[in-house]
């Protein structure tokens, strides 16, 4: 039996459109992002790839993307699970800052390390500022979500893999089609494990917004039948990945 996993990065968010480090900030989708989410659902339906269960982060951009995609695919009724372990990487003191300005202020090397390296975390967010941010948001921190002040990608891998093993893999092993709607870096964390990507090579991996990525996995080893998976719109994925190289310039 082949196990089927679909990974979906949220549609364009206001943070993406503004060119800022968003991280754990809770921002909505843009109009383009809403359209991308709906189109993701149509791509799933057109491919006959109908999810049986969905896992999302606790951030509205991922939740909204999942909701719209599933509605477009007429799968709005399927079971859902959510976890902070699928949240975007926490960008620490960089959260809310313009990427171009960060590059200009700190230089290319620091910018690229903070944005894409495996082991380098951005400067930590001040704990008092983190508390003020939560208060200003007008809501309590979601149940079970810890206070994190900065993360490298390796930290995201460390927190995402227990959820992969304990929640996603058991759903896959039942034979259900599993949709994971999350973020660029939490999906990169899963892909690093699934595709056995090296610490060095992961820096070059980009995940485009709103394009479902299909993985057919061996039922025993969970190794992908096609390394790298298959985007349901390969052309759009290539264009988006190429454009990502200019972020912050």
pLDDT in tens, 108-127: 999 999 999 999 999 999 88
pLDDT in tens, 35-54: 999 999 999 999 999 999 99
pLDDT in tens, 56-70: 999 999 999 999 999
* Residue of 55, 88, 90, 151 marked active site: 88
- Count Cβ atoms below 10 Å from residue 222 Cβ, excluding itself: 16
User: pLDDT-derived band of residue 80, with 50, 70 and 90 as boundaries?
Assistant: very high
Answer CATH for 2-244 from 1.20.1530.20, 3.40.50.1240, 3.40.50.300, 3.30.60.50: 3.40.50.1240
Average pLDDT over residues 184-211: 97
Active site residue 10: yes
Residue 87 and residue 186 in contact, taking contact as beta carbons nearer than 8 Å: yes
* Residue of 10, 55, 90, 183 marked active site: 10
pLDDT number for residue 244: 79
Tokens at residue 70, please? 């599933």
User: pLDDT-derived band of residue 142, with 50, 70 and 90 as boundaries?
Assistant: confident
Cα separation, 191 vs 154, whole angstroms:
12
Active site residue 88: yes
* Domain spans of the chain, in order of start: 2-244
């Amino acid at each position: 039996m082949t196990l089927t996993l679909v990974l979906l990065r949220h549609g364009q968010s206001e943070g993406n459109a503004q060119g800022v480090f968003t991280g754990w900030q809770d921002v909505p989708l843009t109009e383009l992002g809403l359209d991308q989410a709906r189109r993701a659902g149509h791509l799933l339906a057109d491919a006959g790839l109908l999810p049986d269960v969905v896992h999302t982060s606790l951030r509205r951009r991922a939740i909204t993307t999942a909701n719209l995609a599933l509605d477009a695919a007429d799968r709005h009724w399927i079971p859902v699970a959510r976890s902070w372990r699928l949240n975007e990487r926490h960008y620490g003191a960089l959260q809310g800052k313009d990427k171009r300005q960060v590059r200009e202020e700190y230089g290319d090397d620091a910018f690229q390390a903070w944005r894409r390296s495996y082991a380098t975390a951005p400067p930590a967010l001040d704990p008092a500022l983190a508390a003020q941010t939560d208060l200003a948001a007008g809501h309590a921190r979601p149940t079970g979500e810890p206070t994190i002040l900065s993360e490298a990608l390796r930290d995201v891998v460390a927190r995402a893999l227990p959820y992969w093993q304990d929640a996603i893999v058991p759903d896959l092993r039942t034979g259900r089609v599993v949709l994971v709607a999350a973020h660029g870096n939490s999906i990169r964390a899963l892909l690093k494990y699934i595709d056995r990507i090296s610490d060095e090579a992961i820096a070059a991996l980009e995940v485009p917004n709103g394009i479902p990525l299909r993985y057919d996995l061996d039922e025993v080893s969970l190794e992908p039948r096609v390394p790298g998976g298959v985007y349901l719109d390969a052309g759009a994925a290539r264009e988006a990945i190429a454009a990502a190289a200019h972020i912050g310039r």
